[in-house]
Amino acid sequence: MAPYRPLNVNDAGPPIAGIIGASPAMQEVYRLTRRVARTNASVLLLGETGTGKEMIATAIHRLSTRSSGPFVRVNCGALSESLLESELFGHVRGSFTGAVNNRTGRFEAAHTGTIFLDEINSTSLVLQVKLLRVLQEREFDRVGDTQTMRVETRVLAASNRDLMAEVDRERFREDLYWRLNVVPINIPPLRQRREDIPELVAHFLNHYSEMNDRYVVHIQRDAMESLQKYHWPGNVRELQNYVERAVVMAEGDELTVELLPDVVLGRIQPRPGRAQPADLESLTFDVVQHGLSNSPADEENLHAKIVNRVERELIAQVMAATGGVQTKAAQRLGINRNTLHKKLKEYNLEGSDGDE
């Protein structure tokens, strides 16, 4: 048996093919990706929507000893529970209305390879029991069948939510969480790797220029500064969208400020994002960029604006965690129920008045 070798920063190496960025945050992702790819361990990819979790999953498969086998993707949030069960495990003819033929499920199709379960948090508790069985026993039953199937498939899963918080809310099984979370990899949001934006922009400019038979290869300095200041609630996917739009609309060979949407330029308020509990950087940045003008009076109100924004997000998250029941939320927040009721009105948040 090979001696234990602790992880070190030198494991990171150069960026992985097909993935853009050399920031310290991404170096950590590369290090973990290369290290875990050589194993058969389950991996849980965590990150906001648009950060590139599927690209990391693809890289893990490509760098693994299973690379010659199939790589099967399943978006668990795109199908209802009944359809998802059939999609994952297959079904036999006549097992339900519309099942006119036998069907091979995704787990069976991924035999000897890798299956990537995106938005794993969307699965029901009933389906999670069946997923747990596959992870522990490497076996499952097709819908409507009595014959047990065995597979040798590596499982990668991804979530844009805090799964442990989902466990606390009794929406995700704790035993499945620990089976999936053998090696967690956190994909950083774009606002935490702003130094990668110029390289990402250059990549997307080249890609969409070639795709659309255009020649937009330069970017105006003011445009780049605006892109680097924006807080990117949609992450890399949002940046990709705006660059593609600019390439299509450009009349010359340069991406200029006029080609960027108003939200990036701070002319309109950004859409409310799904804030992460500890993401104070994003909240503060949004208030500073979009909530203030250059007047001294506004600068004096900066602290109050940030506190109010953070308090609103905290109350919204606790209300969601307690099913909107004010009594429970007030207890968890450590405040009086009447105080919470006033805050809900002040921040235009909804909640149940019940004492469930």
Q: What is the CATH number of the domain that holds 92?
A: 3.40.50.300
In this structure, the answer to whether residues 75 and 32 fall within a common structural domain is: yes
* pLDDT tens by residue, 66-120: 999 999 999 999 888 878 988 899 877 656 666 657 788 899 999 999 999 999 9
Residue 41 neighbours by CB distance under 10 Å: 12
In this structure, the answer to whether residues 170 and 202 fall within a common structural domain is: no
Strands (E) across the chain are located at 43-46, 71-75, 90-91, 103-104, 114-118, 139-141, 148-150, 154-159, 183-186, 218-219, 254-255
Domain assignment present for residue 273? The answer is: no
In this structure, the answer to whether residues 125 and 242 fall within a common structural domain is: no
Strands (E) across 215-304 are located at 218-219, 254-255
Span 178-207, average pLDDT: 96
Residue 127 has pLDDT above 70, yes or no: yes
* pLDDT tens by residue, 128-185: 999 999 999 999 888 877 788 899 999 999 999 999 999 999 999 999 999 999 999 9
In this structure, the answer to whether residues 98 and 223 fall within a common structural domain is: no
Domain assignment present for residue 171? The answer is: yes
Segment holding 110, helix H or strand E: none
In this structure, the answer to whether residues 37 and 171 fall within a common structural domain is: yes
Residue listed under structure tokens 């680097």: 228
Mention every residue, 6+ apart, whose C-beta is less than 8 A from residue 77. Answer: 118, 119, 121, 122
In this structure, the answer to whether residues 39 and 176 fall within a common structural domain is: yes
Domain assignment present for residue 352? The answer is: no
In this structure, the answer to whether residues 248 and 305 fall within a common structural domain is: no
Instruction: Look at strands 139-141 and 148-150 and give their pairing.
Output: antiparallel
Domain assignment present for residue 279? The answer is: no
Q: Structural domain of residue 314, as residue ranges? A: 292-346
* pLDDT tens by residue, 285-298: 454 444 444 555 55
Domain assignment present for residue 280? The answer is: no
Concatenated DSSP letters for 37-52? HTS---EEEE--TTS-
Short-list 192, 194, 168, 198, CA closest to 323: 168
- C-alpha torsion angle, residues 222, 227, 228, 234 (rounded to 10): 170
Structure tokens at 254: 């340069």
In this structure, the answer to whether residues 313 and 218 fall within a common structural domain is: no
In this structure, the answer to whether residues 226 and 251 fall within a common structural domain is: yes
Domain stop point among 124, 157, 188: 188
In this structure, the answer to whether residues 141 and 83 fall within a common structural domain is: yes
Counting the structural domains of the chain, the total is 3
Domain stop point among 171, 188, 205: 188
Look up the CATH number of the domain holding residue 241: 1.10.8.60
Domain stop point among 157, 188, 219: 188
In this structure, the answer to whether residues 177 and 33 fall within a common structural domain is: yes
Structure tokens at 307: 């506190």
Cα end-to-end span (Å), the chain = 56
Domain assignment present for residue 1? The answer is: no
In this structure, the answer to whether residues 171 and 199 fall within a common structural domain is: no
Look up the CATH number of the domain holding residue 339: 1.10.10.60
Count Cα atoms within 13 angstroms, Cβ side, for 191. 20
* pLDDT tens by residue, 213-251: 999 999 999 999 999 999 999 999 999 999 999 999 999
* pLDDT tens by residue, 272-287: 544 444 454 555 545 4
Domain assignment present for residue 24? The answer is: yes
Domain assignment present for residue 276? The answer is: no
Quote the pTM value.
Answer: 0.72
Concatenated DSSP letters for 175-190? HHHHHHTTEEEEPPPG
